[in-house]
């Protein structure tokens, strides 16, 4: 009797143990695959970045103009010019200059700006916070608004709200950003006077003695709102369209039908089952947008006179400030490549079906 009653229980225990063992092996395989993917992508990034470094070296050596002429003044003698050429290493063979260029890069020595006469790394460090503040905030706010609106209109597909919001989003996402920026400055800053015309701070306020933290933060926020509003208008439409399209595909999946069959409310199905999976393409887009925002949206920063990396890059290229321009391009390329790796890892983690 004892063996008869214990037989089914022992069999179920063995089956449960097999399932647990199988799930443990699958989890281990997933981790190994993820590590293998990270290693493979890291090697690819190093190769691509090495190609970018080489391409920048070649392009700037082929560019018209002589960097020495940017540093020569009327008080310098020919001997001083020759000494300057030797200091810059321009009298050496091209391959020697290339090796020196790589050595300085890996040591963090990006040279001295021709225009400012200061180390390039200091200039980039000063401009980067302004770019991150504006474009990271705009990207996150636009993505949040786009995801929220996109899931709602996709859930009520075919209605008048869906048509109206979709058309408006298409219009916003195809607008020329500098034109919208100029129009915003003309109306909200010049005509109405709600916002400052340009810049990130008001110098007259910042020179006041005993100026508190909140007064400074308020002044920066006042300058930030107009470019932030302009960027959000254009970017929200793009994220909304991505979320709507992904949501329409997701609601056709079998697990959505299963969730409804379990008796869940429409709100629970939409917010807890459909939306998280539909947001995966938006996450990819946001990750890449954050990476490319490091270049500061050069035209946007120039229009708003925002003191960021993008505006400085245009200035460096226009004034043949080669060390500053090369360092800016290298920094942007590195951030974009690393962001691609992070997006790949995040995508594989959020969606177990994806295997690279």
Structural contact between residues 198 and 105, judged by C-beta atoms closer than 8 angstroms: no
Closest to 311 in 3D by CA, of 324, 297, 325, 321? 297
Backbone φ and ψ for 119, nearest 5 degrees, come out as -60, 140
222: buried, middle or exposed (CB in 10 Å: 19+, 13-18, 0-12)? middle
Integer angstrom CA distances of residue 237 from 156, 228, 317 = 18, 15, 32
Structural contact between residues 178 and 300, judged by C-beta atoms closer than 8 angstroms: yes
Domain range list for the chain: 125-356
For the chain, the average pLDDT equals 78
User: Predicted confidence band at 5 (pLDDT cuts at 50, 70, 90)?
Assistant: very low
331: tokens are 């920094």
Helical ranges in the chain per DSSP H: 2-62, 78-88, 94-106, 120-131, 137-155, 160-173, 177-184, 203-206, 213-250, 254-261, 266-269, 275-278, 280-292, 298-304, 309-318, 322-350
* pLDDT per residue as tens digits for the range 255-285: 788 888 888 887 888 877 788 778 778 877 7
- pTM exceeds 0.75, yes or no: no
| Strand segments (E) across the chain | none
Half-sphere exposure of residue 35: CA atoms within 13 angstroms, side-chain side: 6
* pLDDT per residue as tens digits for the range 294-348: 655 778 888 888 888 888 888 888 777 778 888 888 888 888 888 778 877 777 7
Helical ranges in 174-212 per DSSP H: 177-184, 203-206
Half-sphere exposure of residue 229: CA atoms within 13 angstroms, side-chain side: 16
Length of the chain counted residue by residue: 356
> What's the CATH number for 125-356?
1.10.3720.10
C-alpha span between 232 and 143 (Å, rounded): 9
Structural contact between residues 354 and 47, judged by C-beta atoms closer than 8 angstroms: no
Query: How many beta carbons lie within 10 A of that of residue 210, not counting itself?
Result: 5
* pLDDT per residue as tens digits for the range 185-219: 999 888 888 888 888 888 777 777 777 778 888 88
């Amino acid at each position: 009797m004892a063996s008869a009653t214990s037989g089914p229980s022992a069999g179920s225990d063995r089956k449960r143990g097999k399932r647990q063992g199988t799930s443990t092996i699958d989890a281990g395989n997933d981790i190994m695959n993820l590590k293998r993917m990270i290693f493979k992508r890291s090697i690819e990034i190093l190769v691509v970045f090495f190609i970018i470094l080489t391409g920048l070296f070649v392009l700037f050596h082929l560019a018209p103009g002589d960097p020495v002429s940017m540093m020569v003044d009327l008080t310098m003698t020919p001997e001083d010019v020759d000494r300057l050429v030797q200091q810059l290493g321009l009298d050496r063979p091209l391959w020697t200059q290339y090796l020196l260029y790589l050595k300085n890069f890996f040591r963090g020595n990006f040279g001295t700006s021709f225009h400012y006469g200061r180390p390039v790394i200091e200039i980039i460090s000063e401009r980067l916070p302004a770019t991150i503040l504006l474009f990271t905030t705009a990207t996150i706010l636009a993505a949040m608004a786009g995801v929220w609106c996109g899931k709602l209109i996709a859930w009520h597909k075919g209605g008048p709200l869906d048509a109206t919001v979709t058309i408006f989003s298409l219009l916003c996402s195809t607008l020329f950003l500098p034109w919208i920026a100029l129009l915003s400055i003309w109306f909200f800053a010049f005509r109405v006077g709600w916002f400052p015309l340009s810049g990130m701070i008001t110098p007259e306020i910042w020179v006041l003695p005993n100026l508190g933290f909140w007064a400074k933060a308020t002044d920066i926020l006042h300058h930030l709102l107009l470019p932030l509003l302009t960027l959000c208008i254009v970017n929200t439409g793009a994220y909304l369209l991505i979320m709507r399209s992904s949501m329409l595909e997701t609601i056709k999946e079998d697990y959505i039908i299963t969730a409804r069959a379990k008796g869940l409310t429409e709100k629970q199905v939409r917010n807890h089952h459909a939306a998280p999976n539909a947001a995966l393409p938006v996450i990819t887009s946001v990750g890449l947008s954050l990476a490319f925002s490091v270049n500061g949206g050069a035209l946007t920063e120039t229009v708003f006179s925002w003191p960021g990396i993008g505006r400085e890059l245009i200035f460096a290229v226009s004034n043949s400030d080669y060390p500053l321009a090369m360092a800016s391009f290298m920094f942007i390329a590195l951030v974009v490549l690393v962001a691609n790796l992070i997006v790949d890892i995040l995508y594989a983690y959020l969606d177990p079906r994806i295997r690279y």
